[in-house]
Structure 1
Amino acid sequence: MNSIVIVCDTLRRDHCGPYHNGRPLNQVVSAEQPDWVIPTPNMDRLAQRGIVFDNAYCGSTPCMPARRDIYTGRYEFLERGWGPLEDDDLDLPRQISGPPNSSLNKQLDNGNPVSYFITDHFHMWEQGAGNYHMGYTGFEFIRGHEADAWRTDPVEFPCPESEKNTKLERHFRNVHLTRKSEEDYFCAQIFSKAADWLEANHTHDDFYLHLDCFDPHEPWDPPEEYVKMFDPRGYDVDRFIPQAPYDEWNKHMTEQQKNHVQACYAANVVLVDKWLGKLLDKMDELDLWSNTMLIFTTDHGTYNGDHGRTGKLQTHQYDAVAHIPFIVAYPGGEQGVRRDQLVQLVDIYPTVLRAAGKPCPPDRHGLDLTPVLESGTAPLRDYAISGMFGRSVTITDGRWTLHQSPNAENQPLYWYGTAVAKFIPYDLGPYVDGKRLVSDCASWPTPTWLSDKSTDPSELVNLADQEQKKAAELQQALKQTLVKLQAPSEQLERLGLQD
């Protein structure tokens, strides 16, 4: 069976039609959202082709840790933070296609399917994480997004005043020199090139195509006509903010400015959805639905006014960040249905290997979703977990969610593996016995938090003191889960779960 995996970065679940079902944003999860309805007809179209998972949760956050979850089938945040693949990682493309740097003919003769990677995700090849593409049979990078150090032409170009001395200056220089029409926007290029690859390569048996689309991650600069769908001013505003601060928004923006940020984000989602349709059209044209599994998801969401915040990385993995869209079209499976099993990004690894006819290595945290795709009553897991390295750890059963804060010292904490912290810095000691001591790792100043999402889907009310029995139950479940996953034992001590 062929497989296509599409990861759109920072895609909020409540902005996707299969989850908002035509409701205004402020009636889906968070009343702090605007009253807009976000049209995503192609996500709706995909949902009608497949299965919508209502209880999908990210694992490791933010961007690259989530990708290591996908590429290795293991939760990275329990052992390490943002970084590259390690030498001993059994990464997914190599498990499918075999050793890299061999001829295509030799690869196929050895019974290894073709894998291909298309991305505009700059972090995939920058220092500190730049080797995730190496295991594929082939790959294509679309240059210029975010902080990609690409064009250096000494020209005048429009750039928000706030970004002229930041890495985002690169983005605005790049797009000024290369963007001539909507077809040149990054997500348009991603899905157009994917459609072209399918046209040329769809006769390969059991191929694996992975699309990593940086949109709707900031910077948010979609075509003005899309912005005007949500803010009639378009870009005629007193201050254009292409990247919202990772903080309480009212410390940096007026309410009107925050509303414009929300409009630009929503417009970016609509743009992504439009060009997703280009790929779905090619699937229709080539009749690939009968032999191709397609997984559509994201790495995590983002705060966009929720909890008074914008951006990520500031506090617990509340619903706006942790609860993600996850839609699967499966050959021969049900269409237009929903599932309530708890699924996570680590599950992509064994599921794609099963589709490719390849064995799954031992010691993976992910679970093969095939039984669930074939039967709505198939069991999966009782709890999903998520977190960021060195911060709080979240566990949920889909209704109740516990965000367990570490102890005041946030110790002991070790960074496992040979890679060192670069993009997100940590104070690391010398490499000894496969790990490095992490010192001075401040955690969120937020207490352990318990939410009942059946009555409080945005998780605004902390019930940890009021529902002590339920909190203790989930703490015990978290302890048992970490032990089952063979997480580093010091995590129990750091989280106050060792007793």
Structure 2
Amino acid sequence: MNSIVIVCDTLRRDHCGPYHHGRPLDRVTGDAQQPWVVPTPNMDRLAEKGIVFDHAYCGSTPCMPARRDIYTGRYEFLERGWGPLEEDDLDLPRQISGPPNRSLTEQLREGNPVSYFITDHFHMWEQGAGNYHMGYTGFEFVRGHEADAWRTDPVEFPCPDSERGTKLERHFRNVHLTRKSEADYFAAQIFTKAAEWLEANHTHDNFYLHLDCFDPHEPWDPPEEYVKMFDPRGYDVERFIPQAPYDEWRKHMTEDQLKHVQACYAANVVLVDKWLGKLLDKMDELDLWRNTMLIFTTDHGTYNGDLGRTGKLQTHQYDAVSHIPFIVAYPHGGQGTRRQQLAQLVDIYPTVLRAAGKRCPDDRHGLDLTPVLENEHARFREYAISGMFGKSVTITDGRWALHQSPVADNQPLNWYGTCLAKFIPYDLGPYRDGRREVFDCASWPTPTWLSDKADDPGELVNLADRERGQLAKIRQALKETLTRLHAPSEQLERLGLAD
């Protein structure tokens, strides 16, 4: 069976039609959102072809840790933070296509499927990560998004005043020099190139195509006609904010400015959805639904006014960040249905390997979704976990969510692996016995939090003091889950779960 995996960065679940069902945003996730309906007809179209998971959650955050979850089938945040693949990582494309740096003829002769990677996510190449493309048979990198150090032409170019002198300035120079029409927007290029690759390569047996689309990650600068769907002013505003601060929004913006930021984000989602349709059209044209599994998801969501915040990080993995869209089109049934089992990004690894006819290595944290795809009543995991290295850890059964904060000194804590913390810095000690001690790691300044998402989907009320019995139950579940996953034992100590 062929496999296609599509990861759209920072895609909020409530902006996707298969989850909002045509309802305005403020009726889906609360009055922090605007009364807009975000049209995503192609995501709806994909849902009709596939299986929608109502309880899918990210694992490691933010961007690159989530990708290592996908590439290795293991939760990275339990062992280290943002970094590259390491020599002993059994990365997914290499498990499918065999050792890299060989001819395609040799690879196919050995019975290894073709794998291909298309992305505009420059962090895949940036120092501090930089090698996630290496296991594929082939890859294509669309240049210029966000802080990609690409064009240096000494020209005048439009750029928001807030971004002059920052790395994001690179984005506006790049697009000024290269963007001539909507087809030049990054999401458009990604899905167009994917459709072209399918046209040329669809006769390969059991191929694996991985798309990593950086949109709708900021900067949010979609075509103005899309912005006007939500804010009639378009870009004719006093202050254009292409990247909302990762902070309490009232410290940086007025309510009117927040509304425009929300409009730009929603417009970017609509842009992504439109060009997703180009790939779905090609799937229809080539009749690939009969022998191709397609997984559509994101790495995490983002705060967009929720809990008084914009951006990621800052605090616990509340629902706006951790609860993600996850849709699987499966050739052998389930079209137009939904699943209530708890899915996570680590599950992509064993599921794709099974589709490719490859054995899944031992000691993976992910679970093969195939039984759930084939049987809506199949037993699966009881709890999903997520977190950022050295911060709080979240566990949920789909209704109750516990965000467990560390003890006061957040020790002991170790960074496992040979890489250094280059992109998101940590104070690391010398490398000894496969790890580095982490010093002076501050966690989020937010107390342990217990939410009942059935009554409080926005997780506004902390029930940790009121629901002592439920708190004890889910804390025990977190302890047992970490033990079953063979998480480093010091994780239990720093989280106050060792006793």
Q: TM-score, normalised by structure 2?
A: 1.00
- In structure 1, C-alpha distance between the alignment counterparts of 2:115 and 2:223, rounded to whole Å: 33
2:476 alignment partner AA? Q
1:262 matched residue in structure 2: 262
Question: Cα deviations across residues 104-148 of structure 1 (Å, max 9, x unaligned)?
Answer: 000000000000000000100000000000000000000000000
2:11 matched residue in structure 1: 11
- In structure 1, C-alpha distance between the alignment counterparts of 2:94 and 2:122, rounded to whole Å: 21
- In structure 2, C-alpha distance between the alignment counterparts of 1:76 and 1:100, rounded to whole Å: 23
- In structure 1, C-alpha distance between the alignment counterparts of 2:324 and 2:316, rounded to whole Å: 15
1:146 alignment partner AA? E
Question: Cα deviations across residues 45-87 of structure 1 (Å, max 9, x unaligned)?
Answer: 0000010000000000000000000000000000000000011
1:39 matched residue in structure 2: 39
- In structure 2, C-alpha distance between the alignment counterparts of 1:6 and 1:69, rounded to whole Å: 15
- In structure 1, C-alpha distance between the alignment counterparts of 2:266 and 2:296, rounded to whole Å: 18
1:327 alignment partner AA? I
2:475 matched residue in structure 1: 475
2:334 matched residue in structure 1: 334
- In structure 2, C-alpha distance between the alignment counterparts of 1:159 and 1:58, rounded to whole Å: 33
- In structure 2, C-alpha distance between the alignment counterparts of 1:24 and 1:420, rounded to whole Å: 44
Superposition deviation, residue 241 in structure 1: 0.3
Superposition deviation, residue 15 in structure 1: 0.1
1:235-250 alignment runs, 5 A limit: 235-250=235-250
1:354 matched residue in structure 2: 354
1:83-482 alignment runs, 5 A limit: 83-482=83-482
Question: Cα deviations across residues 321-354 of structure 1 (Å, max 9, x unaligned)?
Answer: 0000000000021111110000000000000000
- In structure 1, C-alpha distance between the alignment counterparts of 2:204 and 2:30, rounded to whole Å: 44
- In structure 2, C-alpha distance between the alignment counterparts of 1:361 and 1:333, rounded to whole Å: 27
Runs of 4+ in 1 over 2 A off after TM superposition: none
Question: Cα deviations across residues 147-179 of structure 1 (Å, max 9, x unaligned)?
Answer: 000000000000000001100000000000000
1:389 alignment partner AA? F
- In structure 1, C-alpha distance between the alignment counterparts of 2:323 and 2:20, rounded to whole Å: 13
1:25 matched residue in structure 2: 25
- In structure 2, C-alpha distance between the alignment counterparts of 1:125 and 1:472, rounded to whole Å: 43
Superposition deviation, residue 305 in structure 1: 0.1
Superposition deviation, residue 458 in structure 1: 0.7
2:468 alignment partner AA? Q
Alignment gaps of 5+ in structure 2? none
Alignment gaps of 5+ in structure 1? none
Q: Aligned to 1:36, what secondary structure does the other structure show?
A: coil
Q: Aligned to 1:235, what secondary structure does the other structure show?
A: coil
- In structure 2, C-alpha distance between the alignment counterparts of 1:137 and 1:380, rounded to whole Å: 33
- In structure 2, C-alpha distance between the alignment counterparts of 1:332 and 1:348, rounded to whole Å: 17
Superposition deviation, residue 275 in structure 1: 0.1
- In structure 2, C-alpha distance between the alignment counterparts of 1:338 and 1:454, rounded to whole Å: 18
Question: Cα deviations across residues 283-314 of structure 1 (Å, max 9, x unaligned)?
Answer: 00000000000000000000000000000010
- In structure 2, C-alpha distance between the alignment counterparts of 1:334 and 1:412, rounded to whole Å: 46
Superposition deviation, residue 471 in structure 1: 0.5
1:227 alignment partner AA? V
1:476 alignment partner AA? Q
Q: Aligned to 2:483, what secondary structure does the other structure show?
A: helix
After superposition, the CA RMSD in angstroms is 0.4
2:79 matched residue in structure 1: 79
2:253 alignment partner AA? M
- In structure 2, C-alpha distance between the alignment counterparts of 1:30 and 1:98, rounded to whole Å: 48
- In structure 1, C-alpha distance between the alignment counterparts of 2:464 and 2:117, rounded to whole Å: 44
- Counting matched residue pairs gives 499
Superposition deviation, residue 456 in structure 1: 0.2
- In structure 2, C-alpha distance between the alignment counterparts of 1:389 and 1:334, rounded to whole Å: 36
Question: Cα deviations across residues 386-438 of structure 1 (Å, max 9, x unaligned)?
Answer: 00000000000000000000001011100000000011000000001100010
Q: Aligned to 1:155, what secondary structure does the other structure show?
A: coil
- In structure 1, C-alpha distance between the alignment counterparts of 2:153 and 2:461, rounded to whole Å: 51
Aligned residues: percent identity?
A: 85
2:220 alignment partner AA? W
- In structure 2, C-alpha distance between the alignment counterparts of 1:192 and 1:233, rounded to whole Å: 30
Q: Aligned to 2:198, what secondary structure does the other structure show?
A: helix
Superposition deviation, residue 98 in structure 1: 0.2
Superposition deviation, residue 198 in structure 1: 0.1
2:325 alignment partner AA? P
2:21 alignment partner AA? N
- In structure 2, C-alpha distance between the alignment counterparts of 1:350 and 1:31, rounded to whole Å: 39
- In structure 1, C-alpha distance between the alignment counterparts of 2:168 and 2:459, rounded to whole Å: 32
Superposition deviation, residue 29 in structure 1: 1.8
Superposition deviation, residue 30 in structure 1: 2.7
- In structure 2, C-alpha distance between the alignment counterparts of 1:416 and 1:31, rounded to whole Å: 42
- In structure 1, C-alpha distance between the alignment counterparts of 2:254 and 2:279, rounded to whole Å: 39
Question: Cα deviations across residues 192-246 of structure 1 (Å, max 9, x unaligned)?
Answer: 0000000000000000000000000000000000000000000000000000000
Q: TM-score, normalised by structure 1?
A: 1.00
